[in-house]
C-alpha cells in the first residue's frame, strides 16, 4: 500500500489539473454559448454622417458580418457628430452641434428621445457611455466643460469646468471608472479624471497639434487618438510607451474607435472609413458602404459579445476558438471577431472569410472572373483560370480565350487534349509504315529482277554482273529529304517526322 499511495496522489493531482484546464476553456466559451451566437458572431459600425451641403445629416448602422447598411430613420437631425451605444438597453446616443442637443434612440431609429438641450454657444463634440452605471459623459468645446448625464433620470452635472481648452473626443474606462479626453485648443493636451471629475491629471502635453478623437482598449490598457495634423498615436493609460502608428501629412484624421485588435477611424471630408491594426501593422484598409457621404463620428461593437469577453486571438486567427484565417489577399490577416478579410481574398477563394474555393466556373481574386471556353463539362483552375482538360472547339490558349484559326478543338497550346496530340502522332506513324511497305516491295522487286535468267535478243548484248552487290548503290533506298545513313533501312524507323510531310490523311 505504501508503494501505491505516491502513485495515486500524483495521478489525482494530474487529473485535477486537467479538469481545471477544461473548466477554463468551457468558461471562456460560455458567453458565446449563452447568446446562441457561438457560430455567428456579429460586428457593427455606427457612423454619424454630415450629409450633403444644405441637407440633413443622418446615422448609419453597418453590419460588417453581412455587409448590410442603412440609414436610421431619425427626424430633426442637422449635424450629428459623436456617437456611442448602450448594449444593455440597445440604444444609440449621439451629439448634434447644430441643434445643440444630446439624444438617444433605439437601434432601429425608433423612440427618439432628447437627453439634454444645451445653449446656442455649446459645441458638444464628444460622447461616451457606461452602461453599468447608467451614465453618459460628454465634452462641450463651446462651454469648455466635461459633463455627466444620468441615463434614467436625465439629471445633468458638470464635472470639469476649469483649465479646459476646446475639449473634443472622450472615452470611458468602464473597468476602472475613469475618463480620458483630448483638448484641441491653443495648448492641446490629453487628460484624465474619475467619473466625478476628481483625480484629474495631464497625460500628454507635448507633440500634439489638433487632437480630435480618442478610444481605449480596456483589456490591453491602451489609449489611441487621432490628430488632424495627419497621425494616429497610442500609449498606455498611465501615459507611458507612447508611439506613432500612422502618419500621413494632410489627412484630417478625426474620430476613432477600437474593437478586438483593430482601430476604425474617419477622415474629415472623405466618404469612407478605415481599418488599421492596433499596432500599425499590415495594411490600412479603406472601407466603403452604400449611402455613406461624409462620415464623422464612429463606434464599433458586437451586439452579441461584450468586448471584455472576446477571446484574445493572435494575429491570423479569429472567433471564440481562434480559428485560422482564410486566404486573405496580399498576405493580410482577417478581422478577429467575424474572420472577414476586408482587404479581399487571394486568388481562388470566395469572400468574405476567404476559406472556400471559388464555385465551378469562376476563378481569380474574390472569384470575380468567369472561366473561358474550357472543354464542355469541365471547369478552369480556381486560382489561375487555366483549362486543364483542354478547350472547346475553335478556342485555344492557356485560358482558352483565344479563337483558334484551325477550328480544331483545343489547338496546340497548353491545355490541348491528349486526344488531339495522339491523332497527330498516329497519322505520322501511319505514314511512316506506308513508306516502309513501299520500300520493302521495291527492294523485293529489284532483287527478283536481277536474279531473272538473261535472254539474248537479236541486236543486243548483255553482260552478266554476277550476284547483287549491296554496296552498289547506297542511295537506292534513302528516304526523300534525309541525309545518307550507314544502314539505308534503319533510317526509316528513326525519322518519322521526315515522312510526315508525304502522309496522306486518307490512308
Could you read off the pLDDT of 233-265 as tens digits, one per residue?
A: 999 999 999 999 999 999 999 999 999 999 999
CA distance 507 to 449: 29
Q: 3-class SS at 435?
A: helix
CA distance 323 to 336: 9
- Mean pLDDT of the 488-495 span: 37
Find the range with the poorest average confidence among 16-30, 297-311, 453-467: 453-467
Q: Which of 236, 240, 245, 197 is nearest to 216 (CA)?
A: 236
488 has a pLDDT exceeding 60:
no
| Other beta carbons within 10 Å of 123 | 20
CA distance 346 to 83: 35
Identify the burial level of 454 via C-beta atoms within 10 angstroms of its C-beta, where 0-12 means exposed, 13-18 middle and 19 or more buried.
exposed
Sign of the CA dihedral with 107 first, then 110, 116, and 121 last: positive
Find the range with the poorest average confidence among 26-30, 145-149, 355-359: 26-30
Residue 209: DSSP 8-state: S
Q: Which of 218, 215, 234, 233 is nearest to 177 (CA)?
A: 218
- Mean pLDDT of the 14-34 span: 46
Q: Which of 317, 217, 218 is nearest to 263 (CA)?
A: 217
Residue 340, C-beta contacts closer than 8 angstroms, at least 6 positions apart:
64, 65, 334, 351, 352, 353
Sign of the CA dihedral with 336 first, then 352, 215, and 41 last: negative
Tell me the CA distances in angstroms from 78 to 75, 96, 125, one per residue in order: 9, 7, 14
CA dihedral 150, 156, 159, 161 (to 10 degrees): 160
Q: What is the pLDDT of residue 307?
A: 75
Could you tell me the maximum CA-CA distance found in the chain, to the nearest angstrom? 147
**Cβ proximity of 379 and 370 under 8 Å:** no
Residue 393: DSSP 8-state: B
Q: Find how far residue 352's CA is from the centre of its chain.
A: 7
Residue 176: DSSP 8-state: T
Residue 154, CB half-sphere, CA atoms under 13 Å: how many? 9
User: Would you place residue 439 in the very low, low, confident or very high pLDDT band (cuts 50, 70, 90)?
Assistant: low
**Cβ proximity of 103 and 110 under 8 Å:** no
Q: What is the mean pLDDT of the chain?
A: 80
- Mean pLDDT of the 63-70 span: 82
CA distance 80 to 293: 13
Q: 3-class SS at 263?
A: strand
20 has a pLDDT exceeding 80:
no
Q: What is the pLDDT of residue 458?
A: 37
| Cα separation of the two ends of the chain | 96
Q: What percent of the chain has pLDDT over 90?
A: 62
What are the helix and strand counts (H, E) for the chain?
4, 30
Amino acid at each position: 500500500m505504501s508503494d501505491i499511495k505516491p502513485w495515486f496522489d500524483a495521478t489525482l493531482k494530474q487529473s485535477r489539473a486537467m479538469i481545471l484546464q477544461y473548466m477554463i476553456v468551457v468558461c471562456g466559451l460560455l458567453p458565446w454559448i449563452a447568446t446562441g451566437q457561438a457560430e455567428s458572431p456579429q460586428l457593427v459600425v455606427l457612423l454619424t454622417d454630415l450629409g450633403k451641403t444644405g441637407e440633413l445629416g443622418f446615422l448609419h448602422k453597418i453590419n460588417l458580418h453581412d455587409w448590410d447598411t442603412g440609414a436610421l430613420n431619425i427626424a430633426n437631425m442637422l449635424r450629428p457628430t459623436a456617437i456611442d451605444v448602450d448594449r444593455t438597453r440597445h440604444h444609440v446616443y449621439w451629439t448634434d452641434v447644430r441643434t445643440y442637443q444630446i439624444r438617444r434612440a433605439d437601434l432601429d431609429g425608433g423612440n427618439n428621445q432628447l437627453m439634454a438641450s444645451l445653449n446656442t454657444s455649446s459645441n458638444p463634440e464628444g460622447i461616451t457611455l457606461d452602461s453599468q452605471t447608467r451614465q453618459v459623459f460628454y465634452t462641450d468645446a463651446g462651454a469648455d466643460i466635461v459633463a455627466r448625464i444620468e441615463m434614467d433620470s436625465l439629471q445633468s452635472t458638470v464635472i470639469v469646468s476649469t483649465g479646459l481648452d476646446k475639449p473634443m473626443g472622450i472615452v470611458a474606462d468602464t473597468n476602472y471608472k475613469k475618463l480620458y479626453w483630448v483638448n484641441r485648443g491653443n495648448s492641446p493636451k490629453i487628460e484624465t479624471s474619475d467619473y466625478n471629475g476628481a483625480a484629474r491629471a495631464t497625460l500628454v502635453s507635448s507633440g500634439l497639434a489638433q487632437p480630435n478623437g480618442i478610444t481605449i482598449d480596456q483589456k490591453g490598457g491602451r489609449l489611441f487618438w487621432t490628430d488632424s495634423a495627419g497621425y494616429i498615436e497610442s500609449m498606455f493609460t498611465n501615459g507611458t510607451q507612447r508611439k506613432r502608428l500612422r502618419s500621413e501629412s494632410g489627412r484630417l484624421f478625426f474620430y476613432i474607435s477600437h474593437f478586438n485588435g483593430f482601430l476604425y477611424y474617419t477622415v474629415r471630408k472623405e466618404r469612407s472609413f478605415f481599418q488599421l491594426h492596433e499596432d500599425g501593422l499590415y495594411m490600412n484598409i479603406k472601407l466603403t458602404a452604400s449611402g455613406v457621404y461624409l462620415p464623422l463620428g464612429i463606434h464599433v461593437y458586437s451586439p452579441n459579445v461584450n468586448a471584455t469577453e472576446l477571446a484574445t486571438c493572435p494575429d491570423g486567427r479569429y472567433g471564440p476558438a481562434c480559428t485560422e484565417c482564410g486566404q486573405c489577399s496580399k498576405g493580410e490577416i482577417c478581422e478577429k471577431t467575424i474572420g472577414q478579410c476586408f482587404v479581399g481574398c487571394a486568388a481562388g477563394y470566395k469572400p468574405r472569410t476567404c476559406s472556400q474555393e471559388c464555385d465551378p466556373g469562376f476563378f481569380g481574386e474574390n472569384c470575380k472572373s468567369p472561366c473561358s471556353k474550357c472543354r464542355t463539362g469541365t471547369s478552369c483552375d480556381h486560382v489561375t483560370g487555366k483549362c486543364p482538360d483542354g478547350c472547346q472547339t475553335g478556342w485555344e490558349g492557356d485560358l482558352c480565350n483565344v479563337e483558334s484559326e484551325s477550328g480544331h478543338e483545343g489547338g496546340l497550346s497548353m491545355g490541348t487534349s491528349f486526344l488531339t496530340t495522339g491523332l497527330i502522332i498516329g497519322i505520322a506513324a501511319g505514314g511512316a509504315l506506308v513508306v516502309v511497305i513501299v520500300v520493302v516491295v521495291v527492294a523485293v522487286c529489284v532483287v527478283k529482277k536481277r536474279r531473272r535468267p538473261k535472254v539474248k535478243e537479236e541486236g543486243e548484248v548483255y553482260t552478266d554482273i554476277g550476284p547483287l552487290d549491296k554496296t552498289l548503290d547506297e542511295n537506292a533506298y534513302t528516304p526523300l529529304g534525309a541525309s545518307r545513313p550507314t544502314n539505308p533501312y534503319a533510317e526509316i524507323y528513326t525519322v518519322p517526322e521526315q515522312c510526315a510531310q508525304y502522309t496522306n490523311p486518307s490512308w
